[in-house]
Amino acid sequence: MAENTQNSFKKAAIDIKLFVKDTFDIFQDTDHEATIEDIKSGVNMRGQNAWILIFSILVASAGLNTSSTAVVIGAMLISPLMGPILGMGLSLGINDIDFLKKAIKNFGVMVVLSLLTSFLFFSIPMFQQETPELLARTFPDVRDVIIALSGGLALIIALSRRNKSINTIAGVAIATALMPPLCTAGYGLATAKWDFFGGALFLFSINTIFIATATFIVVRFLKFPYEAYANSQRRKRISQIISFLALAILIPSVYMFYQLYVKSDFNQKADILIDKLRTEKGILILDVHKNYNKKTINFAVVGTSISQTDIKKFQSQMKSFGYDGIKFKVLQDAGNLEAISKINEIENSFLSNQQLLVKKDQLLLDKDKEIFNLKNQLHQKGQTLFPFNQIAEEIKALNSDVEKVAYSKIITTNFSKTDTIPTFEIIWKSNIPSKTQTTENLKLQNWLRKKLKDESILVVK
């Protein structure tokens, strides 16, 4: 019974092994000669290929200028950029030094033509607007490496099959996005924006290196035949040169991947802590700038100020993530903390004064009497102030037929009592009947008495 169970497990293991091998085996359908021939035929950047490259660069530049993703994708579908890059990876894989020289030469022609075409396009002033599509090609990160390497592996594996897949080639052209960085570099040259030029060329270099590296890896994995040389000494020397060049590409590629990974991780950790700070403090954080190379994090704060304790806590948390010595520059109102302290002092002082005033009711009564007497004196001297221009404008708004407004205080007496009466004189347009004027004056008088809280106000013609 136990022996039968053991045999069943062995059979199942063998079946699974065969299934996995059958699923992932790429040796059986590989056509070495046809693949080499296809890649070699697509390397040349002359004639039709050169013109197709120029026109596709123009289409991509226009798409970037209008932030049209569809146009950019269309340009990537028709561009022949992949040829020389695949050629460099293949030549390294099969030890073909002559083909490597040819691939490098055509790669140089491709880059120069692309930069020159995009430079001429973006030299036209109406096309020099900075767009989100252009900006997106200036900050490469570790994901670009993964895209380039994975795309390169998919492309060379698809090309190595007996049945070629045009869809795969087009898909890789879109995913790796070789063309937009070259156009962005041309934009940087035309507008003298060197950060655009440098960032875009760096992104293009990442794509180029990792696509070529992926081609080299798959070519060697599939055991493509080495280029035959009649002279064994020359074959050995070329093999050494190719090996050196392959290492010269692979080692920087690994280092580049590591640097981009660390930079992306640094930015991610900083964003997490900034969001945490924003939530805990209830503040608005703007203009965040993170620089891994300089170990700096800069941002502006609106609202509650951040203390040195908060910054030290932030530094400590970044240190726990493995990033020590981070320098912070926080732009905030330097007087915020002082202002808060002053407000607290004023509040405390106000409470103390309130308590003091409660105990001194008599003093308050005396002051109220004094204020009352002063108001009476001002009233008697005709110094009562009110916003005459504002009231006149409001009267005009209430009735557009009013042509002029005058104000004065009339002193009247019946020989037993003397009064000072605030009086408004309303001058109406000449076409307004006298009866209407009288009615409207009465309305304005009632309105003014309510507004100014004075029942003695008169309105006259």
Q: Per residue in 239-259, pLDDT tens?
A: 666 667 666 666 766 776 677
Q: Are 389 and 426 in contact (CB under 8 A)?
A: no
Q: What is the CATH number of domain 21-227?
A: 1.20.1080
Side chain identity, residue 147: I
In this predicted structure, what is the pLDDT of residue 347? 66
Signed CA dihedral, 246, 38, 153, 135: sign only:
positive
Task: Compare 301 and 442 and report the one with higher pLDDT.
Answer: 442
Q: Are 196 and 129 in contact (CB under 8 A)?
A: no
**Intra-chain end-to-end CA distance of the chain, in Å:** 124
| Cα angle 48-51-56, degrees, rounded to a multiple of 5 | 120
In this predicted structure, what is the pLDDT of residue 113? 92
The pair of structure tokens assigned to 325 is: 């010595």
Signed CA dihedral, 275, 280, 283, 289: sign only:
negative
According to DSSP, the residues that pair with 421 across neighbouring strands are 410
| Average pLDDT rounded to a whole number, residues 21-47 | 81
Q: Are 64 and 121 in contact (CB under 8 A)?
A: no
Q: Per residue in 267-295, pLDDT tens?
A: 888 888 888 877 777 777 777 778 777 88
The pair of structure tokens assigned to 255 is: 């280092």
Question: What SS3 class is residue 193?
Answer: coil
The pair of structure tokens assigned to 283 is: 């503040």
Q: Per residue in 170-222, pLDDT tens?
A: 566 555 667 888 888 999 999 988 888 888 888 888 888 888 888 888 888 88
- Crossing angle of helices 82-94 and 97-122, in 10° steps, is 160
- Average pLDDT over all residues of the chain: 78
DSSP class per residue in 281-347: HT-EEEEEEEETTTTEEEEEEESSPPPHHHHHHHHHHHHHTT--S-EEEEE--TTHHHHHHHHHHHH
Q: What is the CATH number of domain 388-460?
A: 3.30.300.20
